[in-house]
Structure 1
Amino acid sequence: MPVPVRTYATSRPRQLPWLALLVLLAAAPFFARASGSAVRIPLDSLGYEPQSPQFLVSGSSMLTVNYVDNQHLLFTFAVHRLMERIPNDPPDDEDRTVEAVLVELPSGRVLARTDWRFHDNGQYLWSLGHGRFLLRTRDTLTTFAPLANLASGQPFRQQDFLTTNRQIGVVLLSPGADLLILETAERTPPVPAAPAPLFGPTPKPAPQPIGKPGDPDPVALSFYRLALPGTGDMVEADLAGIAHATHFGDLAAMSAGHLAVVDEGQQQWGFDFHPFNGKVKELAPFASTCDPTPRFVSSSEFIAFGCHTGDSPQVLGGFNLRGDEMWEQNLFGDYVATSLTFAPESGRFALGRVMGDVPVANLEQGSGAGLTGQNVVVYQIESGKQVFHVDCSPVARAGQNFALSPDGMGLAVVRENALEIFPLPPLSKKDQDDVKEARALIPKDDALPIDFAEPSPESAAAGPAPSEPAPAAQPEVPKVQQATSVPVTAPAATQPAVSTTAEGDAQPEQPRKRPTLYTLPGEQTPGGEGDGTK
């Protein structure tokens, strides 16, 4: 069971086994208790149909739970339905039906429901906050606001948002949903499947190529700043920049800037915050035997996964944009497929991990062998205090089976054939002060164009970049400065990763190695699951 240990960026005491043992024995209780009894809504009362364990453990998006506001949930799940045949349906489509249910809390009363048809098993739903959601159907994105339109009798009415003739590979949202990063590649014909042998195992399908053969940067990253005006159902998007990459990736970014990881040698790492409107700021250092993976959890704070020994991320640190390492603690047990949900209003985030009893390399095979469960821990961002702990069931490798309420006072979890809503402890006076201090650190966003780096030789030789889609609701896209080649890595744990071409700031004594925006080849991607589509 993890125990928070306070450390500081300017002083990193030597890790002693006997000292760690004393901390383990002295720290009690480990978790705060909930402030009341949980609300339990049986899944069968919502029309839920049991999901295939094979799809759940392989990473397919089969069910989701999201808060619409503090008193309403949106629960979605795959259902078995007869589907109308679509003429000229692409041969690689995997059509399915998903049902969406709007649920009132705490009564569990169903206020509205609808069906959607999707064409793959990737992620289809993202919460934009303030009661609005982003929905993906193949390569088209729409938005809807179920509560805002409930009185009209069309709670799931969709607004056009964006469509493209390219393949959407990744959809990334910042914790405050102020920045959307859409990663796309040119569509390529599916690789023909190898014939199944009469005897023996069926061979794995060949990997799907990304973009045109020979294109060094086939992935286009389109950056959209988002705004949610008023209390209706509209979502405004401004195209702020375009970059190009070698692979799909998972970038730690928000509307005001992004994080880069700098290798300073001797297993020491630095975090640089690159604002889109000012000078690069060097943040707290981090000691790790593996490449750390940062993730924003609010508009001024981030966490980082790292290692104290070996290359398995078993250390979690909390940082802010002032340059402090606020806390650091150990993560126990082998795990894979992490996912995050945020409640910046209360300074909280929830981390879910799929656990196993075999080496991580075996867990990442996606067969489900060796998986023992999925746990969720709610953290107070500024202190690292662990507010609540619970297990999910069934195990969903793609995440999205738990959610924090917007005010951070409730946690909804799919567990034991029910939706369970746990009340969380209120904020202490110290927590409230910490949240105010964190808000004061939020960098100013001047809505300047997002520009990453100078062109790489490979990109310059490749010729002009392909055109990018604009939001359907805004036919005239403002002219933006086009960013250049940024070699990046893959999301989740399935794609290789590469570092950026931009050079970091140099130290007086020793030049810093180039920063890394994405995770490295073969590395787990803590906190990255649930953000991308494949």
Structure 2
Amino acid sequence: MPVPCIILASPRLRKTRWPRLVVVALFFVTNCMWAKGPAPATRIPLDPLGFQPPLAQFMLAGSSMLTVDYVDSDHLLLTYSTKKLLKRLSDCPPADQDRVVDGVLLELPSGKVLARTSWRTHDHGQYLWNLGRGRFMLRIRNTLTTFAPMVNLAKGDAFAQRPFIRTERRIGGVLLSPDADLMILETMDPRPSDQVLGDQPREEDKPVQINFFRLISLNGADIDVHASGALRSRVTGRIPANSAGYIAILDDGRQHWSFDFRSYGGKIKELAAFDSTCRPSPMLVSRSEFIAFGCHLSHTPQILGAFNLRGEEMWEQTMTENYVSPSFSYAPGSGRFAMSRVLTRSSLVDSDSFSPDMFGGQEITVYQTDSGRQLLHVDAAPIARAGQNFSLSPDGLSLAVVRSDALEVYRLPELTKEERKAVQMAEASAPQIDGDPSMVLSSGNGDSTGSPERSDPSTPPAGTREQPAPAAADASSSSASVAGSTPTPPAPVADAGPKAEAQTSSTSASQQAPAEQKPSDIQGDATPDQPRRPPTLYAPGEKHGNDPAHRDDPR
């Protein structure tokens, strides 16, 4: 299938035997036909499914109103908010925003409905995450459960849920590594029951607890979860980490930056440099590749660079449009990822007073990671600032997206011989797991207090690298701090579920480990008379997309 791209045409009218008018007419007709974009391989009308178009005010505000996910290459899971009467609950807090979300399991390419379900959620935040291999995680308030539609379909209940993680704290963010082997759970102190939305306490009065969990895929629908440490922060943030380590950002001065990959066992791999007038924001797209947003001549992140863990910058691209709310879907096994951007007509978008005419649409581009080749470019409608209205198939050969009144599936080209070699090389260069996030947290790498007595075993010899840039995600400054005397509240507890009797003895100790860790401070830049601060796990300037206060940040 033809891949859309920009073609610079300059017809030489004087050398052709055709009349000029005919040539000009053909030129414009060709470009108009191309402007329509690629045709979908499959189109599934949404009206017969009971789909109700969400209100634009919620979609533009960043509310999670619909999701599209591949279960496997032949099945899709579509969920969406519906307008239904709700039974009054006696214990429903005033701040709740109850709604009903319908889930539909679809067969491809026929669009046949294989199963349906409904959930009652209590807010407009993200409620569904794709854990890969046909498994999903559902959030209802502060309880997380899992389900595997295709595994359970044969058992008569495709949406049967299994207990996963429960907490008394308020879930503010859930981060998954590209291959869903590490989950970072960000929780805040519970909001008072009598507090209404719009009258929230100050950010510095809401300590955030960040828990790390390893996710291990078992047979069927089972997922084993292991608690791997915790730290405290003042705000939520996006953390470029996976099960092997994390990306650290180092300021080399004069708008020159460097990246390190730091394993949890203390190993450091120096990576390529990156020029940017603002702090770059890295994001892993596979176990051994990442992208980074940067700026040139301004503080707008319009430079996109791609890097691997072999120390190479693979490519760099300039994005000229203003945009907010980038979101992603990954297919690491094919070396591809899809990125969505919500285009804006101005570089400044005020979340408190926005209108539809501030936005210019939502575009989705599928990239080949090693080369930057754009495999597909398509628009989504309606605009969803929360993302999740598109999904890249696990094999990277198709993209599903909601467009107006239909769910459209686009075919992507097969991998070339060179691209297959690049994927194999990327897999071979993926770092081995040599430790646990708790090792970094307990040694001070992730929560340095700047005390001279606290040493960093992973710090290279003096003079080899410059001061790492602090990486706290703060809406007002580049640093965040938590009072050291604040006691660490109980950590989220992983539910043993049906395997409780077999795993009680093996999981109880790991579940208590985060609660026993000492609270920590995340501080800013070191002054000349202070020792070198190890980098935190935060990407600088990053705000987590699930936090309503941070939805405007395009990074």
- Shorter chain as normaliser: what TM range? 0.7 to 0.9
Query: 1:487/1:409 Cα in 2 relative to 1: closer, same or farther (>3 Å)?
Result: farther
Match of 2:281 among 289, 293, 300: 293
Match of 1:468 among 473, 491, 496: 491
The answer to whether the aligner puts 1:438 opposite 2:426 as a matched pair is yes
Q: Distance in 1 between matches of 2:534 and 2:437?
A: 23
Q: Distance in 1 between matches of 2:321 and 2:71?
A: 33
- Give the CA deviation at 1:152: 1.1
Q: Distance in 2 between matches of 1:360 and 1:483?
A: 41
The answer to whether the aligner puts 1:170 opposite 2:173 as a matched pair is yes
* 1:173-252 → structure 2 map (5 Å cutoff): 173-189=176-192, 205-209=198-202, 213=205, 218-230=207-219, 232-252=220-240
SS in structure 2 opposite 1:152? coil
SS in structure 2 opposite 1:465? coil
Contact 2:186–2:211 (CA under 8 A) maintained in structure 1: yes
Q: Distance in 2 between matches of 1:51 and 1:181?
A: 29
Q: Which runs of 5+ in 1 are unaligned?
A: 4-30, 194-203, 489-497
Contact 2:248–2:536 (CA under 8 A) maintained in structure 1: yes
SS in structure 2 opposite 1:349? strand
Q: Which letter does structure 1 place at the counterpart of 2:430?
A: I
TM-score calculated relative to the size of structure 2? 0.79
Q: Distance in 2 between matches of 1:463 and 1:363?
A: 32
Runs of 4+ in 1 over 2 A off after TM superposition: 33-37, 190-193, 204-211, 359-369, 446-452, 454-461, 474-488, 498-503, 511-520, 528-534
Contact 1:2–1:330 (CA under 8 A) maintained in structure 2: no
- Give the CA deviation at 1:517: 4.0
The answer for the alignment partner of 2:358 in structure 1 is 370
The answer to whether the aligner puts 1:408 opposite 2:385 as a matched pair is no
Match of 2:368 among 361, 380, 387: 380
- Give the CA deviation at 1:351: 0.5
- Give the CA deviation at 1:166: 0.6
Q: Over the residues paired in the alignment, what is the CA RMSD in angstroms?
A: 3.0
CA displacement 1:394-442 (0-9 Å, x = unmatched): 0001000000000000000001210000000000011000000000011
Contact 1:269–1:286 (CA under 8 A) maintained in structure 2: yes
Percent identity over paired residues: 46
Q: Which runs of 5+ in 2 are unaligned?
A: 7-33, 452-480, 551-555
Q: Distance in 1 between matches of 2:448 and 2:542?
A: 29
SS in structure 2 opposite 1:438? helix
CA displacement 1:55-79 (0-9 Å, x = unmatched): 0000000000000000000000000
TM-score calculated relative to the size of structure 1? 0.82
Match of 1:262 among 243, 250, 257: 250
Q: Which letter does structure 2 place at the counterpart of 1:222?
A: N
- Give the CA deviation at 1:518: 3.2
* 1:277-426 → structure 2 map (5 Å cutoff): 277-362=265-350, 366-426=354-414
Q: Distance in 2 between matches of 1:406 and 1:530?
A: 24
SS in structure 2 opposite 1:462? coil
SS in structure 1 opposite 2:493? coil
Q: Distance in 1 between matches of 2:390 and 2:253?
A: 38
SS in structure 2 opposite 1:360? coil
Q: Which letter does structure 2 place at the counterpart of 1:394?
A: P
* 1:37-76 → structure 2 map (5 Å cutoff): 37-76=40-79
Q: Distance in 1 between matches of 2:214 and 2:548?
A: 18
* 1:454-533 → structure 2 map (5 Å cutoff): 456=449, 461-473=484-496, 475=504, 476-479=507-510, 480=513, 515=535, 517-518=537-538, 520=540, 529=545
Deviates more, 1:88-97 or 1:457-466: 457-466
Q: Distance in 2 between matches of 1:35 and 1:368?
A: 26
Work out the number of aligned pairs and report it.
Answer: 472
Contact 1:244–1:484 (CA under 8 A) maintained in structure 2: no
Query: 1:400/1:223 Cα in 2 relative to 1: closer, same or farther (>3 Å)?
Result: same
Q: Distance in 2 between matches of 1:487 and 1:420?
A: 47
Contact 1:356–1:363 (CA under 8 A) maintained in structure 2: no
Match of 2:132 among 115, 129, 132: 129
Q: Distance in 1 between matches of 2:533 and 2:251?
A: 5
Q: Which letter does structure 1 place at the counterpart of 2:490?
A: S
SS in structure 1 opposite 2:282? strand
Contact 1:263–1:514 (CA under 8 A) maintained in structure 2: no
Match of 2:108 among 97, 105, 108: 105
Contact 1:191–1:208 (CA under 8 A) maintained in structure 2: no
